[in-house]
């Protein structure tokens, strides 16, 4: 887990992707890589997620493919089978979390939005959580407030992150990286506008470098 946290810290951003056509996945990965981002969270909001992750893990070299919106053990099985190196969920489902992390052996970052959820996750020896939906729940102010009692926790804020606020989140030492759909939104993938995705990835990388060096 420490290795994963270091990797995510170095990356700074992880694009959250919803893809309908798995054939576009390798082009998407390439577009992100051209902009300097070597990872993506492919969400299980579409049936294409399994094939999309598989395409990327089979052809994308060292591209770091995570599975997102993993809500069931069936999706966790599929994500692991496709080769996902990480699973992420918007909320905390203890069964899916422990099944993925402890039975399948794939790291899992569950979503939290309250101190009680952070507490529960911490009791399972997990020190990194997705903070979702970050902006709607109070954003930076909220992270600072919950970090007083939970100063051992690391956060991956997601939900409402954009180039405008990315830098401010990354300045917090509790923030490992930020997730967000703005880099590779569904409409750009559908339109095969991979040039714009590369541009957005490069801009995100520029912000990460500006803050973290
Ligand atoms: C997620 O699943 O993490 C969110 O849908 C991403 O939120 P965003 O669209 O506000 O970036």
What's the mean per-residue pLDDT of the chain? 96
Ligand 1 centroid from CA 160, angstroms: 7
Distance CA 188, CA 48 (A): 17
Active-site residue set: 41, 130
- Identify the pLDDT of residue 112: 98
For residue 69, give the ligand 1 atom closest to its CA. Answer: 2
Q: Which residues of 20-41 are buried (b: 16+ CB within 10 A; e: fewer)?
A: eebebbbebbbbbbebbbbbbb
pLDDT at 60 over 70: no
Distance CA 155, CA 191 (A): 32
The model's pTM is: 0.96
Question: 66 and 59 in contact (C-beta within 8 Å)?
Answer: no
∠ CA 150-67-198 to the nearest 5 degrees?
A: 100
pLDDT band at residue 131 under the 50/70/90 scheme: very high
Mean pLDDT, to the nearest integer, of 131-160? Answer: 97
Closest Cα to atom 3 of ligand 1: 158
For residue 182, give the ligand 1 atom closest to its CA. Answer: 11
Cα atoms found within 13 Å of the Cα of residue 65, Cβ hemisphere only: 29
Q: Is the CB of 139 under 6 A from ligand 1?
A: no
Domains (ranges, CATH) in the chain?
2-208 (3.20.20.70)
Beginning with the edge strand found earlier in the chain, give each strand of the sheet holding 108-109 in spatial order: 108-109, 86-88, 64-68, 39-43, 13-17, 178-180
**Which tokens hold the place of 72?**
């069931």
Longest dimension (CA), the chain: 46
Distance CA 93, CA 178 (A): 21
**Which tokens hold the place of 166?**
């990315």
187-207: per-residue pLDDT in tens?
999 999 999 999 999 999 999
- Identify the pLDDT of residue 59: 81
Contacts by residues 134-139 (CB-CB < 8 Å, ≥ 24 positions apart): 134/158, 134/159, 134/160, 134/161, 134/169, 134/178, 135/159, 135/160, 135/161, 135/165, 136/160, 137/113, 139/165, 139/169
């Amino acid at each position: 887990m420490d290795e994963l946290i270091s990797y995510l810290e170095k990356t700074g951003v992880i694009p959250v992707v919803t893809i309908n056509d798995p054939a576009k996945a390798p082009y998407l990965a390439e577009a992100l890589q051209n902009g300097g981002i070597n990872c993506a969270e492919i969400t299980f909001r579409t049936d294409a997620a399994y094939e999309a992750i598989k395409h990327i893990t089979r052809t994308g070299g060292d591209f770091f493919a995570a599975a997102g919106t993993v809500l069931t053990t069936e999706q966790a099985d599929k994500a692991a089978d496709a080769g996902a190196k990480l699973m992420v969920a918007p909320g905390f489902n203890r069964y899916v979390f422990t099944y993925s992390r402890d039975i399948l052996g794939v790291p899992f970052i569950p979503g939290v939005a309250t101190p009680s959820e952070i507490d529960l996750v911490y009791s399972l020896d997990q020190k990194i959580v997705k903070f979702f939906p970050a902006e709607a729940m109070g954003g930076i102010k909220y992270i600072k407030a919950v970090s007083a009692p939970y100063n051992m926790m690391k956060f991956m804020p997601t939900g409402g992150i954009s180039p405008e606020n990315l830098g401010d989140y990354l300045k917090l030492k509790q923030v490992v990286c930020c997730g967000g759909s703005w880099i590779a939104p569904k409409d750009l993938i559908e339109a095969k506008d991979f040039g714009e995705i590369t541009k957005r990835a490069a801009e995100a990388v520029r912000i990460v470098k500006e803050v973290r060096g």
